[in-house]
Amino acid sequence: MKKNILFIVLFFTSVQVFSQTDMNVMSYNIRLGSANDGENNWEIRKEKVTDLLNYYEASFIGLQEVQKFQLDFILMKSPNYDYIGLPREAGEFAEYSCILFNKKEFKLIEQKTIWLSKTPDSVSKGWDAACHRIVTYGLFKNKKSGKQFWIANTHFDHEGKVARMESARMIVKLVIDLKAKKQVPVIITGDFNATSNEDSVQLLKQSLHEASSVSETKPYGEKATWNAFDFKTKLEKQIDYIFFDKISSIKVRKFITINDFYDFKYPSDHLPIMATFLIK
């Protein structure tokens, strides 16, 4: 009898452990390729960016400042990935806030790009923003487990403080709307162009979990993410974050700020961040 009880306990324990999986989600501003960055020009560093993406093998990667020729190169070098997202405006060098996803692991169910403005369904600039700003989101299904996730990615304005605050309000409302549409976890990646003490980030932290703050293990690496291609100076500004809704049962098992470099240079003027989510 004791053996039977022990077998049952072990069986259900193993099933529970087996049903728990990790899912890595990355956020990375890769720096627009059309910029005249001298020794940090895209043509010099593009292989380093794709090598980094392929090495860490995140299931989802929210990229910011991506231009079409950069996206084409990344997809050519990263055959396991597909993407969703529209450019924020017309033009050859328009930027995307696209989401790469591992197409072998996940199936795309639906997607949309909206503008961070008073008219989100049309190409538009919001409030005091210097640029058009967008958020791209999609509903994905894990091909093996059947579990579904909303993944969103954004890039807030670098000048407009009002625009950043209003954009934060839009993100909070978007999470509520997505949860109402499909009651599954919502994860948001992005360059929010604001440090943790700014009102826009504070609003997001009040409404959502910020991944590094709730990691079950100590986050690896410094918090600062913006390096300005300056390898010699200690980093001070964290402006890139990963958020997720407070209702879902997912947890952050690990969090890393990736400070990989080559020839004493960074692959981008931002450091990528990655959260390892424990999916129950």
pLDDT per position as a tens digit, 51-78:
999 999 999 999 999 999 999 999 999 9
Alpha carbons 11 and 272: distance in angstroms, whole number: 39
Domains of the chain: 2-279 (3.60.10.10)
Alpha carbons 208 and 210: distance in angstroms, whole number: 6
What's the pLDDT score for residue 16? Answer: 42
What is the arithmetic mean of pLDDT over 242-267? 97
Alpha carbons 165 and 186: distance in angstroms, whole number: 20
Residue 76: its H or E element: helix 68-77
User: How would residue 280 be classed by pLDDT, with cut points 50, 70 and 90?
Assistant: confident
- Residue 60 bridge partners (DSSP): 25, 101
What's the pLDDT score for residue 5? Answer: 45
Under DSSP, the state recorded for 149 is E
Q: What residues contact residue 102 under an 8 Å CB cut-off, 6+ apart?
A: 57, 58, 59, 60, 80, 81
The packing angle between helices 199-207 and 161-181, to 10°, is 20
Full-model pTM: 0.93
User: How would residue 19 be classed by pLDDT, with cut points 50, 70 and 90?
Assistant: low
> Per-residue pLDDT tens for 204-234?
999 999 999 999 999 999 999 999 999 999 9
Over 60: is that where the pLDDT of 165 sits? yes
Q: Within 13 A of 82's CA, how many CA atoms are on the CB side?
A: 10
When the pLDDT of each residue in the chain is averaged and rounded to a whole number, the result is 94
> Per-residue pLDDT tens for 72-107?
999 999 999 999 999 999 999 999 999 999 999 999
Q: Please measure the distance between the N-terminal and C-terminal CA atoms of the chain and give it in whole angstroms.
A: 31
Q: What is the largest CA-CA distance in the chain?
A: 74
Over 80: is that where the pLDDT of 275 sits? yes
